[in-house]
Structure 1
Amino acid sequence: RQELHPGDVVTYIVDRNINYTNVCVADCQFCAFYRRPKHAEGYVLSFEEIGRKIDEAKQLGAVQILMQGGHNPYIPFDWYLDLLRYIKRHHAIHIHGFSPSEVDFFSTRFRLSAAEVIRALLAAGLDSIPGGGGEILVQDVRDRVARKKAGADRWLEVMEIAHGLGMKTSVTMMYGLGETLADRIEHLVRVREVQARTGGFTAFITWPLQPEHTEMEGTPKTDAITYLRTVAIARLVLDNVPNLQASWVTMGLKVGQVS
């Protein structure tokens, strides 16, 4: 860490998470956010609503938006491209959006290769890709809790394709899904191997499952010590990833400071 970031100072940016739709057909067991198609609480934000959220964020000093959403089968591909163009036309802000799971969904839904999807998003204004949907990159685990979403190999493949096209990305790990410690290490090693080939990951973020209001409600929650140990191990394994992001929103400010 001292070689990459000398001193005892850490940095942060102000950004805002914008979920453009909560309609989703992935049916992940750990998700409290999504609603099935035609559910009364399902929504798709208008461009103007998204623009207002960006304005609010910029007034608080935001320089980036994290933009993700559900796998909504009713939104055409041009909508996403038009959204990116709209944002870039009206706002000077970094767009960190569309996880590998979303890219894979677009690829399948619109019969495009992942490279074609990413090229189109890049041309429309996307600046970088978040690591959403990574969970645990071990297929047995994903088959239990997120079997309709991009598999472990595909998730990593999309990331490698993005890196090959010059797109930087973050990478994540959500633990506490019933995986073993060996599964967590396998996840980290796979990330390290991709990074050794591409150098495209800018930051690693990890956090524990939040089971409330999900199909996994009742799953024992992990504690702050487990989180700090996970961060420490990630630092050792992922010495080729230049930044580690503290999950203070999930873990609380004090634990975030310690991490």
Structure 2
Amino acid sequence: MSHIDSILDKAIKGKRLSMEDGIALFASNEVEKIGHAADQVMKRFHPDPVATFVIGRNVNYTNVCDVYCRFCAFYRGPDSDEGYVLPNEVIYEKIQELVDVGGTELLMQGGVNPNLPFSYYLELLKEIKNRFDIHVHSFSTVEIRKMKELSGLATYEEVFAELKKAGLDSLPGAGAEMLVDRIRNKISRLKGSWQEWIDIMKAAHRAELHTTATMVIGFGETMEERVLHLMRIRDAQDEVIQQKLNTPGFLAFIIWTFQPDNTNLKAEKVSNEEYLKTLAISRLMLDNIPNFQASWVTLGPEIGKKSLSYGCNDFGSTMLEENVVSAAACTHKVNIELILKLIREAGKVPALRNTRYDILKTYQPDDGVEKDFILQN
């Protein structure tokens, strides 16, 4: 048995992979073999041949930001004439459109706007919950950091307690990028250390909010740094389990690829094969996170479909609206009919879920869908 085969066998048998194992897998060119092992590990979590998706909408409520990430084409500085804050009524209209098409997940994120007081978020969340039955899966760690700064509250736990009381249901994994300070300092010196991202996520878990974890590849990171990122997420999830917190912690993991177009940080785009390889290795390393989402937004629906054979059990969000990735000249449009088609072509049964991964509906081959409903605009 080769060294790679022994590592993959260990993962398939449910044994934890080490830093050295992860590095060896990244050094290997046996991508399909690694992908097959990741698919087997996925089936340990999800033995039924089902692939899920959620109908959600991104609402980018402001593009004003004082973090100035070099890889972001979306933000505008606090003094820019192109900066905006959406009127609340516009936000409500967008949510109503989501509800009208059966959507259940609101992903509300913006720039880190220094001009919005903490009360803005609390009042907005309360009004959203008064008007809609919707899961608010919103904000990022850097937005939470700004809220703490402006609120005067002493701890992140206090910030989350107020947000949760107002209507926040869960926290996305945005802002992780690469949990290595060498890379974080390269892409944005104001975004905070990897430890700060982890600390804010841990505070969310202690506040009994579930979260997701993410990784963005393509910043010039080493393979060792990718493995280190995965191990830091795995360690934080171990704490949720060991402390028996009343939350699943990181409920899902998502990999994005850096899109350099229209940004101040130039780099070569990550190949589809490199994305699939990283995805599969992540599924093998992260033995304590149940769900993996495909990244069709940056790589397109066909790679999203292939991801379902490389460790993913979920096609992700339909994203009725998305402005951040598309600002980097990367826009892929998918409708429900195409999602069902792609999942079926991958040999899976499509199922609609909510943000907690509860299945709401399983689609049979003869299910009718709205053919002209565009899920991203």
TM range, smaller chain: over 0.9
Shift of 1:98: 1.4
Question: Aligned to 2:276, which of 191, 212, 228?
Answer: 228
Aligned counterpart for 1:201 among listed residues 239, 250, 261: 250
The aligned runs of 1:174-189 (5 Å cut-off) are 174-189=216-231
Is the contact made by 1:104 and 1:150 (CA closer than 8 Å) also made in structure 2?
no
- Give the superposition deviation at 1:58: 1.7
Aligned counterparts of 1:180 and 1:55: Cα–Cα separation in 2 = 44
Q: Per-residue displacement from partner, 1:226-249 (whole Å, max 9, x unpaired)?
A: 110011001001121010011111
Match of 1:145 in 2: 187
Does residue 28 of structure 1 match 2:58?
no
Q: Give the alignment partner of residue 78 of structure 2, picking from 29, 37, 40.
A: 37
Residue 129 of structure 1 corresponds to 171
Task: Kindly indicate whether the alpha-carbon contact (under 8 Å) linking 2:272 and 2:303 is maintained by their aligned counterparts in 1.
Answer: yes
Q: Deviation at 1:8?
A: 2.1
Residue matched to 1:81: 122
Match of 1:256 among 294, 298, 304: 304
Would the aligned equivalents of 2:117 and 2:147 in 1 still touch at CA under 8 Å? Answer: no
Deviation at 1:110, TM superposition (A): 3.0
In terms of mean alpha carbon deviation, does 1-10 or 39-48 score higher?
Answer: 1-10
How big is the shift at 1:100?
Answer: 1.3
Provide the secondary structure at the position in 2 that maps to 1:230: helix
Q: Distance in 1 between matches of 2:82 and 2:49?
A: 45
| Aligned-partner residue type, residue 273 of structure 2 | I
For 1:167-212, what per-residue CA distance to the aligned partner results, in whole angstroms no more than 9, with x for missing partners? 1000100111111111111000000000111150000000110111
Q: CA deviation at 1:3?
A: 2.8
Alpha-carbon shift at residue 105 of structure 1 (Å): 1.9
Percentage of matched positions with identical amino acids:
46
Give 3-state SS (helix, strand or coil) of 2:43's partner: coil
Q: Calculate the TM-score normalised by the size of structure 1.
A: 0.97
Q: Please point out which of 78, 95, 120 is paired with 1:54.
A: 95
Q: CA deviation at 1:65?
A: 0.8
Secondary structure (helix, strand or coil) at the match of 1:182 reads: helix
> Which has more radius of gyration?
2
CA distance in 1, matches of 2:152, 2:219: 31
Asked if 1 retains the 8 angstrom alpha-carbon contact of 2:117 and 2:150, the reply is: no
Q: Match for residue 238 of structure 1?
A: 286
Shift >4 Å, 4+ stretches = none
The AA in structure 1 aligned to 2:97 is: E
Alignment gaps of 5+ in structure 2: 1-41, 242-248, 308-377
Out of 142, 156, 163, the position equivalent to 2:205 is 163
> 1:59 deviation in Å?
2.0
Say which structure, 1 or 2, has more relative contact order (CA 8 Å, 6+ apart).
2
- Measure the CA separation in 1 of the matches of 2:46 and 2:132: 31
Q: Is the 8 A contact 2:114 2:146 kept in 1?
A: no
Cα distance in structure 2, aligned partners of 1:205 and 1:105 = 24
- Quote the offset at 1:4 in angstroms: 2.1
Find the residue that maps to 2:195 and give its secondary structure. helix
Give the corresponding residue for 1:4: 45
What SS class does the counterpart of residue 50 from structure 2 fall into? coil
- Distance in 1, Cα, partners of 2:86 & 2:217: 30
Q: Deviations over 1:77-134 (max 9, x none)?
A: 1000001001000011000011112111222233322111111100100000000000
Indicate the RMSD between aligned Cα atoms, in angstroms.
Answer: 1.0
Cα distance in 2, alignment partners of residues 159 and 24 from structure 1: 21
Is 1:116 matched with 2:163?
no
Quick one: distance in 2 between partners of 1:198 and 1:105?
A: 25
Unaligned runs of 5+ in 1: none
**Which structure 2 residues correspond to residues 101-112 of structure 1 after superposition, within 5 A?**
101-112=142-153
